[in-house]
Amino acid sequence: MSSLTIQLLNVIGVVGQFYVVLLVVYVLMSWFPMNGAFYDVYRVIGSLCEPYIALFRRFIPPMGGIDFSPWAAILVVQFVIVPVLRYLVITVVR
């Protein structure tokens, strides 16, 4: 594998993990009351995460007042999107 391929694979992995961290931070922040600067941060993170999580909310309704759709979104990023993108990079570069 060339160094470009390795760098692309690393970038895909880092971006995927960063998005997972954003999703976790968004979920954790939603448990606490927001005001001031924290509310602004929450809105920015929400604008990045909410459209993706909304895809899962259509199929996974809240159960017992707990919304499991963010966790499904995290699993899909880690076990579907990132591996597929890595596979595509390896396939295209060959």
The position carrying tokens 């963010």 is: 70
CA distance 84 to 94: 16
Residue 55, helix vs strand vs coil = helix
pLDDT, tens digit, 9 for 90 and up, residues 14-63: 999 999 999 999 999 999 998 888 999 999 999 999 999 999 999 999 99
If we measure between CA atoms, which residue out of 74, 75, 69, 71 comes closest to residue 56? 69
Q: SS3 for 49?
A: helix
**Cβ-contact 54, 67 below 8 angstroms:** no
| Predicted local confidence at residue 90, as pLDDT | 86
